[in-house]
């Protein structure tokens, strides 16, 4: 699937899962947490590989991010494979089960390679 069609399909999936636009970025509220989801192309062109940026924000940790997932206290950056829509759906399944900081701390290992800033680590 070409990048434009994949973006449309992922956006439809996000909206189906309850994502709402906030400051130009789609986010999903789960309990006390907000999960930001951004889809990025690795290069120009309609067949470029896609990357998922999944960010987690909690009001107790930091100010609300202005730049979407990239500004969140937790950022997972995943290169997507042959079925990006299914992969994004799988990540949304994981995020959808985590709605508070204690659960996030217990399940942090499910986000391999995630960047977690100091403020969030102190709360976990």
Q: Where are the domains of the chain?
A: 1-70+79-91
Quick one: pLDDT at residue 22?
84
Quick one: pLDDT at residue 2?
85
Quick one: pLDDT at residue 53?
94
Residues in the chain: 124
Quick one: pLDDT at residue 29?
95
Per-residue pLDDT of the chain (124 residues; tens, 9 = 90+): 788 898 899 889 989 999 998 888 899 999 999 999 998 888 888 888 889 999 999 998 878 888 888 999 999 999 999 899 999 999 999 999 999 999 999 999 999 999 999 999 998 8
20: left (phi over 0), alpha (psi -120 to 50) or beta: beta
The pTM of the full predicted model, rounded to 2 decimals, is 0.91
Quick one: pLDDT at residue 46?
82
Quick one: pLDDT at residue 54?
96
Burial class for 21, CB neighbours closer than 10 Å (0-12, 13-18, 19+):
exposed
> What's the angle, vertex CA 62, arms to CA 65 and CA 37, rounded to 5?
35
């Amino acid at each position: 699937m070409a990048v434009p069609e994949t973006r449309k399909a992922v956006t439809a999936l996000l909206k189906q899962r309850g994502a709402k636009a906030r400051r130009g970025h789609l986010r999903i509220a789960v309990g006390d947490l907000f999960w930001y989801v951004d889809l990025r192309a690795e290069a120009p062109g309609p067949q470029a590989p896609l990357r998922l940026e999944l960010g987690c924000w909690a009001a107790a940790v930091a100010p609300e991010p202005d730049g979407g997932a990239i500004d969140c206290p937790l950022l997972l950056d995943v290169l997507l494979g042959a079925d990006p829509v299914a992969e994004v759906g799988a990540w949304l399944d994981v995020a959808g089960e985590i709605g508070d900081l204690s659960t996030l701390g217990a399940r942090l290992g499910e986000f391999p390679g995630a960047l977690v800033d100091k403020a969030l680590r102190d709360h976990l």
